[in-house]
């Protein structure tokens, strides 16, 4: 299949939201899954995974990506203009909500927020707490959406935390770990979904296991 870029917009310095249309077949996915995209750099074919960052909408799908300046794939993604195409290898991944959903903590750093934007597009009966860690306030991707959702859905709680806050920030600070442990408290009957770069995911998994969380309740996606 082919993925044609319809539009893109800056979310934060070095981070963009992309909307594509899949062409050449039926396109289906579950919130939380990712697409595998292919591009040519010189003679090399490069494949990279990107979580889908919106609810299913026919053949359209959205991505949220960081520019890795010396990366092999993301610079070509960021250079795309509306109408340009990439090869789309398909939809993959098991990072989807367990059924039936139970009270859950969703933990993201950076673009690890992408699959949660797809999952949270639907209303869920249980309590969902989103803990989102970035460096600067300007990097809180989709922050206005999360704040609106928290104001309108009584069972959704949004807890952003900054590791390099500006002097005006009065919210949570530091890495996500302590905020996750606080949200877990004495509960061992909840699911915890974690998405981001390997170091964060692995450290947090180790902290949760040390608490006595059942490993089957720790569901994760690592980006590297």
Ligand X SMILES: Cc1cc2nc3c(=O)[nH]c(=O)nc-3n(C[C@H](O)[C@H](O)[C@H](O)COP(=O)(O)OP(=O)(O)OC[C@H]3O[C@@H](n4cnc5c(N)ncnc54)[C@H](O)[C@@H]3O)c2cc1C
User: Cβ of residue 92: shortest distance to ligand NAP, in angstroms?
Assistant: 22
Compute how many residues bind ligand NAP; rule: CB under 6 A: 24
- Interacting positions 155-174 with ligand NAP (CB under 6 A): 163-164
Given ligand NAP, ligand X, none, residue 48, with its beta carbon under 5 to 8 Å by kind, binds: ligand X
Which residue, 153 or 205, has its beta carbon nearer to ligand NAP? 205
Indicate the residue among 86 and 134 with the shorter CB distance to ligand NAP. 134
The answer to whether residue 200 forms part of the interface with ligand NAP (CB under 6 A) is yes
User: What are the structure tokens assigned to 102, written together?
Assistant: 């139970």
How many helices and strands, by DSSP H and E, does the chain display? 5, 12
Q: Is 133 in the site for ligand NAP (CB under 6 A)?
A: yes
β-bridge pairing 34-41 and 191-196: unpaired
DSSP letter for each residue of 89-148: EEEE---S--SS--SEEEEEEGGGGHHHHHHTTS--SS-EEEEEEESSGGG-TTHHHHHH
Q: Locate tokens 């770990």: which residue?
A: 177
Q: Which of residues 55-74 bind ligand NAP (CB under 6 A)?
A: 66-68
Contact 18, 65 (CB under 8 A): yes
- Report in angstroms how near the CB of residue 45 gets to ligand X at its nearest: 12
- Residue 129 binding result from ligand X, ligand NAP, none, given CB thresholds of 5 to 8 Å by partner type: none
Residue 180 found at the interface with ligand NAP (CB under 6 A):
no
Q: How far is CA 30 from CA 96, 101, 184, in A?
A: 7, 14, 26
Interface positions with ligand X (CB under 6 A): 34, 48-51, 63-66, 68, 71-74, 93, 110-111, 114, 197, 221, 223-224
First-to-last alpha carbon distance for the chain, in angstroms, is 25
Which residue number, 60 or 153, has a Cβ lying nearer to ligand X? 60
């Amino acid at each position: 299949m082919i993925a044609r870029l319809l539009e893109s917009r800056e979310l934060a310095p070095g981070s963009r939201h992309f909307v594509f249309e899949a062409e050449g077949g039926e396109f289906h996915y579950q919130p939380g899954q990712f697409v595998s995209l292919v591009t040519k750099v010189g003679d090399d074919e490069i494949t990279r995974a990107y979580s889908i960052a919106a609810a299913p909408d026919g053949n359209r799908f959205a991505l949220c990506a960081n520019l890795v300046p010396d990366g092999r794939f993301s610079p070509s993604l960021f250079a795309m203009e509306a109408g340009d195409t990439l090869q789309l290898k398909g939809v993959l991944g098991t990072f989807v909500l367990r059924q039936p959903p139970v009270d859950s903590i969703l933990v993201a750093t950076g673009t690890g927020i992408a699959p949660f934007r797809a999952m949270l597009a639907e209303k869920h009966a249980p309590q969902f707490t989103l803990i989102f860690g970035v460096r600067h306030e300007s990097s809180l991707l989709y922050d206005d959406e999360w704040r609106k959702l928290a104001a309108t859905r009584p069972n959704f709680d949004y807890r952003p935390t900054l590791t390099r806050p500006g002097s005006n920030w009065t919210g949570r600070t530091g890495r996500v770990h302590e905020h996750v442990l606080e949200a877990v408290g004495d509960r061992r009957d909840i699911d915890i979904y974690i998405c981001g770069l390997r170091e964060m995911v692995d450290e947090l998994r180790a902290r949760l296991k040390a608490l006595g969380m059942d490993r089957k309740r720790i569901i994760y996606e690592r980006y590297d």
